[in-house]
Structure 1
Amino acid sequence: MTATRVLILGGKAGIIRKASALGFEIVHIQKPSAFDPAVVEHCAQLLLVDYQDVPTVTALVRALHEQRPFVRVFTQTEAAQVVAGHLTEALGLPGNGARTTRLLHDKPALRALLNERGIGPVPTVVGPTHDELRDFVKTHGGAVLKPTMGSGSLGVRMITSPDETDAAWAWRQEFGLGTFMAEQRLIGDELSVETFSAGGRHTVVAVTGKETGGGAVELGHVVPAPLTDRDRAAVHAMVLDLLDAVGLVDGPAHTELILTADGPRVVESHSRRGGDRINELVRLVHGVDLEEATYRLAQGGDPLPTPATRGAAAIRFLVAEPGVVTSVAGAADAESAPGVVDVDVQVGQGDTVHELRWSEDRCGYVVARAEDAATAVRLAAEAAARITITTEPATGGAEAARATLGDLLEEVDEVLDPFAAATTTPAAATRTR
């Protein structure tokens, strides 16, 4: 009997392994810069091609599909979402098409749709001049300046008062944020909603609480978020309205919101499971692996087990002073702390710690479980505090601090808009997107 043939764009070996365990014949397309030999044993074919090179990957996938058809196109990687939607539509396969994946990748397009439908309207201005930005901040009391595409808090800057506008504008120019928008700064608890859809039917699996310390980069999460029944109902309703509005058909979605005094407001949404180990928190608490459920869509039937809450789980991210790491201590002590289920310190002696510009600048994490959310948060924070990452100022630190958006994207070998990159030079697409 021939195994079900699926195409997977991007993803680490652990995610590909989950598809392999379900018995699929996997054709995996991965960027050469992200190749991991551990993935080879799980693939029938492994093609080292930049999946953000839209003309090349489209021609390649069409030829592979004509040779032996795929049942589904999958990706669990943000950088490949719009390409996966494009390929799904081009091959006539079930799943989320180009319109849906584009709406969830293009922040101004999503905001315009939500505002038009009255789904938690938020004042927004796209590509304002300096004076227009200043007027916007004066009118709304604050703003969030950010790229029109992207994730991981990359290029996000908070403006809390009109007095900060000039500094934010100067930062935008220095950072190379050429295509940008500003939205009203929302005040309230930050949440994300983890959902799963099959055939256009949406299930809320979990609501995640977030901690940012007042900045843009997330420092911790907890599942489930502590909410009143009234707030939970309002959050669920808004997310389901959003998913219907964008036409999401299949798979996970990760929708970020802020619970304001006027009710929930959507920040952004993505056609994938949440990053930052949120999938692991959901699995620990609700018994649902959203990555595995995604692949089960290719098997037919109901891919999602019934969620059942068992206590709470929290993650606390490790941060350190910018500089060169001279020592790391306390990891073993953290592992033995009450409630801890996972510790991952991602820096070592000689590594460079940058200022907290985006999620990639964090230094690792601690995950803890407990009977309730408050205790899980406390245990994760206490265990993380046992880990000490010592740094000393780096030579050329000022130069590193001036890294642009293009520099950071080049480090991870990504562009924010692969369809723009198809009609411009890669360098130009990186700089302006």
Structure 2
Amino acid sequence: MRKLLILDWSSEWRGYVLEAAARMGVNVLLVMDRDRPTPEVVLDKLILPDLYQNPVQWAETIATYGRRWGVDGVFTHEDELVELSAIVAQYLRLPGPSPKGVRRALDKWETRECLREIGLPNPNYRRANSFDELKSAVNQIGLPVVIKPIASSSAEGASKVERLEDIEIAWRAAFEASLSSPVSPGQVIVEEYLRDEGRVLSLEGMIIEGQLFPITITEAHQYHSSRGGRALRIHYKDYFLPAPVTEKTYREIVLMSSKLAEALPIHLGAVHVEYKLTPEGPRLLEFNPRLGGGLVPLMVRQAFGVDLAEASLKLALGEKPDLRFTKSSAVCLDWYVPPYEGIVRSVHGFEEMLTAPNVVHGELRVKIGERVAPGWLGLAFVMTEHSDPLGALKSARNALKHLSIEIEPVS
């Protein structure tokens, strides 16, 4: 039986990965930073408590573990571990993306430089290693700007800044978030704020032997919460697919993603490439050499019958995945986002939400007494399916109206 080495996993956010492995009849060797209950598909576990502290230092240890078990492939879904996964696959002479390409993709400065080198449109950007360098960069670019770690995802540590007096708050958030990154810790990038309508588009695709196979474009809506003053923390909600974009926009996104993948280079694996839709056309936010985060793979499977998790595992094993659509619908996944920081005191209407029209799935992810705060992931989510993307979005928003979560504010 084939054996697959997977670098970290959680039942809450990555449950579908081990479910795919079980359907494929694959035994899993799991590397984790702490021991947690796992399904029967897991044959053995290697626990490395400091796995996320400079992950690449564990490459030889993990490769030795993989050799001992005779693994046939290496996979991860985690941003912090994708470079490590690529290095381990290279050590074991197994299929995987180029470690150099992965590192360039994770480093937003390197990605921007790569875009510039191949002549693709870029916002104005600067790198900063200190607060003084940051102030100089902001003065050169001009407000408003986005300040974020050079390597992060899910808008972690990212702020929109509209006033000079809010730069320090944004600097602290980005700098602190950067310290846990395996790529360019302590470094921050400042970018011209791309004016748009709050729409973020993400290409979900697979790269096989250097060729990009686009699956769909996901849309999410960007919103902000205050970090203090008017330094605005960036979040996302209202995920739905396929995004209602013009054929021209779709072609531009696919072409830019394909050219960037070739230049980085990324020749194998899942990709999740984020863009902002500006009046001048799509502009790259980041290139992620991994599956889409959150529950995007579940949305794709619900809408099109394409299992991106299974496809990724097959690529890791050197097999060709089946990317053919078996259905075609629109799916939305919307979150109940806490409006302010506080303690959850009660939850009402969850069952009513689940029985609302077009709802196919939903989960409550908070407990009474838990402290919560605004963030890109919410306290509960609902997934809806419809013939039209905006119909799926409307259904999700209507379903969430049934849910009421009482939060006691805290200072």
TM-score by length of 1: 0.83
Cross-structure match for 1:7: 5
Q: Is the 8 A contact 1:318 1:384 kept in 2?
A: yes
Q: CA deviation at 1:65?
A: 4.0
Inter-CA distance 4–347: structure 2 relative to 1 (3 Å threshold): same
Cross-structure match for 1:157: 159
Cross-structure match for 2:217: 207
Alignment deviations for residues 178-223 of structure 1 (CA, whole Å, 9 cap, x no partner): 4211111112232000001222221000101111235621111110
Query: Which one has the bigger helix percentage?
Result: 1
Cross-structure match for 1:136: 140
Q: Is the 8 A contact 1:52 1:83 kept in 2?
A: no
Partner Cα distance (2:6, 2:280) in 1: 41
Q: Is the 8 A contact 2:141 2:191 kept in 1?
A: no
Inter-CA distance 277–135: structure 2 relative to 1 (3 Å threshold): same
Is 1:343 the equivalent of 2:362?
Answer: yes
Inter-CA distance 244–136: structure 2 relative to 1 (3 Å threshold): same
Q: CA deviation at 1:21?
A: 2.6
Cross-structure match for 2:192: 184
Cross-structure match for 1:316: 334
Cross-structure match for 1:353: 372
State which drifts further: 121-130 or 301-310: 301-310
Cross-structure match for 2:38: 38
Inter-CA distance 324–110: structure 2 relative to 1 (3 Å threshold): same
Partner Cα distance (1:252, 1:130) in 2: 33
Secondary structure, aligned partner of 1:36: coil
State which drifts further: 272-281 or 172-181: 172-181
Cross-structure match for 1:410: none
Is 1:388 the equivalent of 2:411?
Answer: no
Is 1:193 the equivalent of 2:203?
Answer: yes
How do 1:10-409 residues align onto structure 2 when only pairs under 5 Å count?
10-13=8-11, 14=15, 15-32=17-34, 35-39=35-39, 41-50=40-49, 51-52=51-52, 54=55, 57-127=58-128, 129-138=133-142, 141-159=143-161, 161=162, 164-173=163-172, 176-177=175-176, 178-188=186-196, 189-213=199-223, 216-298=234-316, 300-307=318-325, 310-320=328-338, 321-354=340-373, 356=374, 358-360=375-377, 362-394=378-410, 397=411
Partner Cα distance (2:321, 2:92) in 1: 23
Q: CA deviation at 1:56?
A: 5.9
Please list every run of 5 or more consecutive structure 2 residues that lacks an aligned counterpart in the other structure.
Answer: 177-185, 226-233
Q: CA deviation at 1:70?
A: 2.6
Partner Cα distance (2:317, 2:200) in 1: 35
Q: CA deviation at 1:55?
A: 6.5
State which drifts further: 50-59 or 150-159: 50-59
Inter-CA distance 12–348: structure 2 relative to 1 (3 Å threshold): closer
Q: Is the 8 A contact 1:190 1:257 kept in 2?
A: yes
Partner Cα distance (1:64, 1:353) in 2: 39
Q: Is the 8 A contact 2:238 2:332 kept in 1?
A: yes
Q: CA deviation at 1:378?
A: 0.4
Partner Cα distance (1:386, 1:296) in 2: 40
Letter in 2 for 1:323: G
Secondary structure, aligned partner of 2:320: coil
Inter-CA distance 264–5: structure 2 relative to 1 (3 Å threshold): same
Inter-CA distance 45–123: structure 2 relative to 1 (3 Å threshold): same
Letter in 2 for 1:186: L
Q: Is the 8 A contact 1:20 1:43 kept in 2?
A: no
Inter-CA distance 385–29: structure 2 relative to 1 (3 Å threshold): same
Q: CA deviation at 1:301?
A: 4.5
Alignment deviations for residues 45-85 of structure 1 (CA, whole Å, 9 cap, x no partner): 21111433546632323323443433221111222111111
Partner Cα distance (2:391, 2:115) in 1: 36
Partner Cα distance (1:102, 1:254) in 2: 15
Q: Is the 8 A contact 1:88 1:97 kept in 2?
A: no
Let me know the Cα RMSD of the aligned residues: 2.0
Percent identity between the aligned chains?
A: 23
Partner Cα distance (1:174, 1:197) in 2: 34
Query: Which one has the bigger strand percentage?
Result: 2
Q: Is the 8 A contact 1:7 1:73 kept in 2?
A: yes
Alignment deviations for residues 257-302 of structure 1 (CA, whole Å, 9 cap, x no partner): 0121222111001111111211111111121111111112255443
Partner Cα distance (2:170, 2:282) in 1: 30
Cross-structure match for 2:231: none
Secondary structure, aligned partner of 2:38: helix
Inter-CA distance 353–67: structure 2 relative to 1 (3 Å threshold): closer
Inter-CA distance 366–55: structure 2 relative to 1 (3 Å threshold): closer
Please list every run of 5 or more consecutive structure 1 residues that lacks an aligned counterpart in the other structure.
Answer: 398-433
TM-score by length of 2: 0.87
Q: CA deviation at 1:227?
A: 0.8
Q: Is the 8 A contact 2:276 2:284 kept in 1?
A: yes
